[in-house]
Amino acid sequence: MTDRLAAETIILGSTVLTSTEPGLPDYPRLRAENSAAGGVAHLLENHAIGIVGGEIAWVVPAAEVSDAEKHSAEVIDGTGQVAIPGLINCHTHSAMTMFRNSAEDVVTSTWFNDHIWPMEVNMTARDVRLGTQLAVAEMLLAGVTTFADHYFEMEQIAAVVEETGARGFLAQTYFSSQGEAGIQAAADFAEKWNGAAGGRVTTAMGPHAPYTVSDADLVTTAGHARRLGIRTHIHTSESPGQTTSSLERRGVTPVQVLHDTGIIETGVLIAHGAGIIEEDLRWLTPYSDRVAVACCDKVYLKHAQSGTTPVRMLHDAGITVGVGTDGPGSHNTLDVLESMRFLSLTEKDRHNDATWLTSQHALDLATRQSAAAIGQSGRLGALLPGYRADIALIDTRGPHMQPMHDLAAALVLSVKSSDVSTVLVDGRVVVRDHRLTTLDVEPAIAELNRRVPQLRDTSHGRRIQDYAP
């Protein structure tokens, strides 16, 4: 007999990535090769995870689990699998699946002004519903259990989170061009939905960016965030060009705008931050307990914007960095494992340092730090007692993962998201043996494909906003 809680669900016999931690913060001096500079991942072989009430109750060696315990629980066979914390997509516009591969091989200004913002004129609430269904299907199948969404018609997105059993950190987008109504609707959404779906929905304020939302509206935004006890999710310093432009136009960086309007003090998730400069650290570091930057490197390469999130500078300053995909209209997928790989390799390349951004560090970014980025430290991002049971089982037996020399490297540099076999959110199985259990996505795909011609018709000559950062 044990004094463990009787588990409702047991994942038996997998390797378990229980947690990661910062590792060696002074890596530039150590620089020992394979030193796991910047992150350490704890991996336990042949263990078992017991789940009670949607929470991880215990993690023990598989051999310690009694037959009685197995008989009274749903047992998920973890043989040949590694259990990792459910992945968190720290920045996306998930419904933009509807625009996947629709605006390719173009620069950012063309992408916005000639493609996406004209097409978004055509978009209906129904399209957002369908696009989000498609997105959640893609994400759950790829082990992404939580997504930080920033988009329009957020009630539709929240409804899909509720229906499918996924988890969302949701912020309704607004521009100042929408007037007061834009902010108010976003605040109303945030107030109504925070903590909904059994706690699987948390919310944030969603001003689009400092170049589309006025300082006055950012001050109002911070007021709502303070009142509701939530953070703000906002595009800021998306590229070096935006920082230069802001300095030229108004003498301050976009990050200083966030500071001066009170956004940083109330807690902020900065999307991209590829234009963050060293001087910005003075505004960010005092609030490192509530500030994070979401990095989506694949998009920065694709749009050739000549700048990526300064992960190393932020790391050295103690600022949290999460892994995101951006919307599938620019990233083409919602695959966080892919995004983590691009981050890892882009960082090595940018710094001409093959020993920087090790695979263990990448796992730390994608788990512990991504949870912190959406304000869920201690609740998500690790497989330890007391954490929510958001878990992705990854099959490591495929030929492309073998033989097994280094599981951390395999998870970052060899894995395919199709290796994700089983996924739980709050202890509920949402993907079993590569199949969704809560969603039939075929009708959404069919309906969206019928919508493609209308979505693409930009003969109206309008756009929802002008891109002139």
Binding residues for a copy of itself (CB under 8 A) = 33-34, 37, 97-102, 104-108, 110, 134-135, 137-138, 141-142, 298, 300-304, 306, 328, 332-335, 342, 345-346, 348-349, 351-356, 358-359, 397-400, 402-406, 409-410, 413-414, 416-418, 441, 445, 448-449, 451-452, 456
Could you tell me the smallest distance in angstroms from the CB atom of residue 354 to a copy of itself?
4
Residues 6+ apart with CB under 8 A from 425: 86, 140, 145, 165, 166, 167, 200, 388, 389, 390
For a copy of itself, which is the closer residue by CB, 304 or 468? 304
Between CA 378 and CA 65 the distance in angstroms is: 25
Give CA–CA dist 139/426, Å, rounded. 16
CA distance 282 to 458: 44
Cite the beta strand spans of 324-447 per DSSP E.
391-395, 420-425, 428-432, 435-436
Minimal distance, residue 226 CB to a copy of itself, in Å: 38
Residue 435 C-beta: closest distance to a copy of itself, Å: 12
Task: Choose between 267 and 324: whose C-beta lies nearer to a copy of itself.
Answer: 324
Query: Rounded to whole angstroms, how far apart are CA atoms 223 and 188?
Result: 13
Query: Crossing angle for the helix pair 180-193 and 154-164, nearest 10 degrees?
Result: 20
Which of residues 138 and 153 has its CB atom nearest to a copy of itself in the complex? Answer: 138
**Cα distance between residue 133 and residue 123, in whole Å:** 15
Least Cβ distance, residue 39 to a copy of itself (angstroms): 11
Q: How far apart are CA 209 and CA 219, in angstroms?
A: 13
Q: Which residues are 51's β-sheet partners? A: 9, 56
Q: What type of residue sits at position 319? A: I
**Least distance CB 132 / a copy of itself (angstroms):** 12
Nearer of residues 170 and 410 to a copy of itself, judged by Cβ: 410
Rounded CA gap, 97 and 434, in Å?
20
Q: Which is nearer to a copy of itself, 252 or 445 (CB)?
A: 445
User: Closest separation between CB of residue 328 and a copy of itself, Å?
Assistant: 8
Q: How far is the CB of 131 from a copy of itself (least distance, A)?
A: 9
CB neighbour class for 398 (10 Å; exposed up to 12, middle 13-18, buried from 19): middle
Closer to a copy of itself by Cβ: residue 27 or 175: 27
In the complex with a copy of itself, the residue whose CB is nearer, 245 or 418, is 418
Nearest residue to 116 (alpha-carbon basis) of 151, 159, 155, 160: 151
Q: Taking the complex as a whole, how short is the minimal distance between the CB of residue 146 and a copy of itself, in angstroms? A: 18
Reported as type and span, the H/E element at residue 271 is strand 268-272
Q: Which is nearer to a copy of itself, 32 or 68 (CB)?
A: 32
Q: Is 211 helix (H, G, I), strand (E, B) or coil?
A: coil
